[in-house]
Structure 1
Amino acid sequence: MKKATLTANADAGALVRKLWQYCNVLRDDGLSYPDYVEQLTYLLFLKMSDEQEGGPVPAEYGWRSLVNLDADAMRTQYERVLVEMAQQGGMLGLIFRNAKNKIRDPAKLRLLVVDLIGQTEWTGLSSDLKGDAYEGLLEKNARDTKSGAGQYFTPRSLIDVIVECVDPQLGEVVCDPACGTAGFLLAAHDYLRRSNPKMTRAQQKKLATKSIRGVELVEEVARLATMNLLLHGVGGNAESELPITCADSLKTPPKHHVDVVLTNPPFGIKGSVTYTQDQKSVRGDDSLTVVRADFWVQTANKQLNFLQHIVAQLKPGGRAAVVVPDNVLYEGGAGAVIRRRLLETCKLHTLLRLPAGLFYAQGVKANVLFFDRRQAEEKPLRSEHLWIYELRTTKRYSLKTNPLQREDLDEFLKLYKSGKARRDAAGKVTTGGSSSRSYRIQEILATEECLWDMAAAEEDGNARQPGLARLDELSRLVADDLQRALALIKGQVE
């Protein structure tokens, strides 16, 4: 059979549609969307390794050990390959960790191997094409809310604008401590490539193997993130060149400090683990309390703990953009302590208030915090302001039917890049269809609860009860957590 001829200029969307069509065939065999993308990842890696001279997969477990077998023998060999690859180190171990064959029908496995993956010379495609096609597949998976994969998806239009605002530079290390399928990391890599079209070979290699770092807790998602980056030309086989680590970012202090953090930590109220800076508060063999001496305060709130971790991870002068739900802005107790300490140790200069409907967790309102880590001994200046841009207008958004577009963020980006975020005097300004306001950092620090957005707090009734987190927001977060769990279960059953 003649192999398909896809060129570097081929349409990535057409390739996504082709890959997705086979998913529908396998759905009849009970394979969920996430399972299909996972199996596709294994087979793509094997095929691409076979196409490379001296690829990382040993010949006895490589692509050619599969393609000429009948259906039953192919299934047996495929399962053997997965077991062997899972025991390897480096990139192989990261891609194939705990890998299992979930395609029950041998004939359909052979269809996938021979008729889909085997008909394309994948290494002959540009990294942009095959990378964009794989990323498109992940996006389709995320938009299928039944799969539960949407909790790892941030709209690309929002990601691109955030990256442009933070403006990573060549030679800097960019990290996402809750990277999901690596959307922020890929956008940063693409931005750096576009901004530096005349890189030397040494600079290209450093960008591909040293500059992009992510951490992901969920093993299956870390696998997808690794493959997503690999298809875009990021990462290498050596342990030191792996772009993704499968781990819990919050469990230990960062081993290395970084220049830039871009992240959208998982939404939710509280985890099962409490993080404390005080060893004395841990009793005996308490496995649900983790000591982080670099944290400011004890809490089980995941978003607040991620903020503490990110500040600890940044170099002096480092920059961060973090997506957080509204409860981070209003929660009392530990929340107030963290807001105050963040202002003291970082320059929080911009808060972008996002409309509801952008994320998988429907109804949750989120924000993007932009801040820079202060130099040692640096204190907040009297002239410092927090600029707040209001994107919560009457326009309604949804993940599938009316997603956020780049043009929706054009005004914000223009004002941000003009320096307005740092120059505005205190007060409220209306421009276009949105409004912005600015507060002096010293005024915020002077308040008991250190509320970053006092106007929004007053609108929501929080000015009268500053010590209480908004009950409607908390109940919505609980409901969304339950819906995500149900969606994940349904995705496995269907």
Structure 2
Amino acid sequence: YDFLTSHHRLDRDQSRFLKNKTFGGNEIVAGTRRLALMNMFLHNIGEIDGEPMISNSDALIADPGYRYDYILTNPPFGKKSSMTFTNEEGEQEKEELTYNRQDFWTTTSNKQLNFLQHIHTILKTGGQAAVVLPDNVLFEGGAGETIRKKLLETTDLHTILRLPTGIFYANGVKANVLFFEAKPASKEPWTKEVWIYDYRTNVHHTLKKNPMKYSDLEDFIRCYNPENRFNRKDTWSEESPEGRFRKFSYDEIIARDKTNLDIFWLKDKSLADLDNLPDPDILANEIIENMEASLASFKEIMATINGESEEN
């Protein structure tokens, strides 16, 4: 909003549209939603006594019907969707929640995979999205593999930014930003190549002592080349093995086991330095994450086997 108003001269109708019709969102947690609405009001977006621009429903329940030109989002982390209910004894219980939507490519209880499918649905053709997602979205088998293949086919998944650890409140969280553009139906896959910027390997941030700053991402922005992303250059080569920006063709990615997009090539120097190993809680979280991903993949396989057995 501030950028548009400061860089463009808007007439009355354009200003009204920018204020009341341009932005929208969804937040299921009441307190967080109130903070988001207050932030919008402080930036002169929306009307305090008008229609709320951020809904508080479960975004995954159904296709809302509206479509967006741009989507910036950080869906909630956590592997499984669940709902809390009161049982016959009056005790609170949680039950795994699976969404069955006709617009989804596949059914899964993985929240991040469902949000990725939801974002694909509500993005206009030609619309662009930047989505923060944990590593499991890039390598999980079963439904994860299906969704990655569909995303590569139906959108131009042109860039992945590997984020460093130490930028979230939870220790050891590994996340990425996926940048993609929605495309019309086509027999050929829209993604021709995926550019990956590794800002994780050998990068160390903390929330207090060494927080990530805008200047830390300036090299990524230069490599991304927002003025013309079709004119990019690798910074990695056999002669420059420390380069952080590298492209992979569609064929290279499809040939990988489970269409795995968790791609890295830089040597982790901290693992070679016994005096500078990652914190134990980070290593423990990595082990847990890998075990959970393996268990989820096995459950997907068992569900498929059981389904085939019932049909026979």
Taking structure 1 as the reference length, the TM-score comes to: 0.49
Aligned to 2:252: 443
Map 1:211-360; keep pairs closer than 5 Å: 211-237=22-48, 241-272=51-82, 288-360=97-169
Q: Is the 8 A contact 1:364 1:477 kept in 2?
A: no
Q: What's the Cα RMSD here? A: 3.2
Residue 375 (1) aligns with residue 188 (2): no
Map 1:380-395; keep pairs closer than 5 Å: 380=189, 384-395=192-203
CA deviation vs aligned residue, 1:344-372 (integer Å, no higher than 9, x gap): 11100000111101111221111100000
Q: Is the 8 A contact 1:303 1:324 kept in 2?
A: yes
Secondary structure of residue in 2 paired with 1:394: coil
Secondary structure of residue in 1 paired with 2:168: coil
Among 405, 419, 427, the residue aligned to 2:213: 405
CA deviation vs aligned residue, 1:423-471 (integer Å, no higher than 9, x gap): 5588934989751111111332344511124446999xxxxxxxxxx99
Secondary structure of residue in 2 paired with 1:270: coil
**Is 198-207 or 311-320 further displaced after alignment?**
198-207
1:348 and 1:456 map into 2 onto residues whose CA distance is 20
Secondary structure of residue in 1 paired with 2:205: coil
Amino acid at match of 1:388: I
Post-superposition shift, 1:326? 0.9
Q: Is the 8 A contact 1:327 1:474 kept in 2?
A: no
2:255 and 2:227 map into 1 onto residues whose CA distance is 25
Aligned to 1:361: 170
Secondary structure of residue in 1 paired with 2:236: strand
1:269 and 1:474 map into 2 onto residues whose CA distance is 15
Amino acid at match of 1:245: S
Map 1:133-212; keep pairs closer than 5 Å: 189-196=1-8, 198-212=9-23
Query: Relative to 1, partners in 2 of residues 1:227 and 1:427: Cα closer, same or farther, differing over 3 Å?
Result: closer
Secondary structure of residue in 1 paired with 2:62: coil
Post-superposition shift, 1:242? 2.4
Q: Is the 8 A contact 1:269 1:478 kept in 2?
A: no
Aligned to 1:10: none
Amino acid at match of 1:373: A
Query: Relative to 1, partners in 2 of residues 1:287 and 1:327: Cα closer, same or farther, differing over 3 Å?
Result: closer
2:175 and 2:234 map into 1 onto residues whose CA distance is 23
Count of equivalent residues: 266
Post-superposition shift, 1:421? 5.2
Q: Is the 8 A contact 2:154 2:190 kept in 1?
A: no
1:326 and 1:457 map into 2 onto residues whose CA distance is 17
Secondary structure of residue in 2 paired with 1:212: coil
1:404 and 1:268 map into 2 onto residues whose CA distance is 23
Aligned to 2:275: none
1:444 and 1:420 map into 2 onto residues whose CA distance is 24
Among 282, 288, 291, the residue aligned to 1:475: 288
Amino acid at match of 2:37: T
CA deviation vs aligned residue, 1:263-302 (integer Å, no higher than 9, x gap): 01111111226xxxxxxxxxxxx99443211111111111
CA deviation vs aligned residue, 1:148-187 (integer Å, no higher than 9, x gap): xxxxxxxxxxxxxxxxxxxxxxxxxxxxxxxxxxxxxxxx
Query: Relative to 1, partners in 2 of residues 1:289 and 1:350: Cα closer, same or farther, differing over 3 Å?
Result: closer
Q: Is the 8 A contact 1:216 1:246 kept in 2?
A: yes
Q: Is the 8 A contact 1:352 1:391 kept in 2?
A: yes
Secondary structure of residue in 1 paired with 2:41: helix
Taking structure 2 as the reference length, the TM-score comes to: 0.75
Unaligned runs of 5+ in 1: 1-188, 274-285, 460-469, 480-494
Post-superposition shift, 1:476? 5.3
Secondary structure of residue in 2 paired with 1:290: coil
Post-superposition shift, 1:257? 0.8
Secondary structure of residue in 2 paired with 1:342: helix
Post-superposition shift, 1:400? 2.5
Which has the larger helix fraction? 1
Post-superposition shift, 1:379? 2.8
Identity %: 43
Secondary structure of residue in 2 paired with 1:294: coil
Post-superposition shift, 1:226? 1.0
Q: Is the 8 A contact 1:268 1:477 kept in 2?
A: no
Post-superposition shift, 1:193? 2.6
Post-superposition shift, 1:417? 1.8
Query: Relative to 1, partners in 2 of residues 1:474 and 1:306: Cα closer, same or farther, differing over 3 Å?
Result: farther
Query: Relative to 1, partners in 2 of residues 1:190 and 1:211: Cα closer, same or farther, differing over 3 Å?
Result: same
Amino acid at match of 2:35: L
Q: Is the 8 A contact 1:387 1:421 kept in 2?
A: no
Q: Is the 8 A contact 2:127 2:181 kept in 1?
A: yes
1:194 and 1:255 map into 2 onto residues whose CA distance is 32
Aligned to 1:39: none
Amino acid at match of 1:207: L
CA deviation vs aligned residue, 1:121-159 (integer Å, no higher than 9, x gap): xxxxxxxxxxxxxxxxxxxxxxxxxxxxxxxxxxxxxxx
Query: Relative to 1, partners in 2 of residues 1:441 and 1:210: Cα closer, same or farther, differing over 3 Å?
Result: same
Amino acid at match of 1:264: N
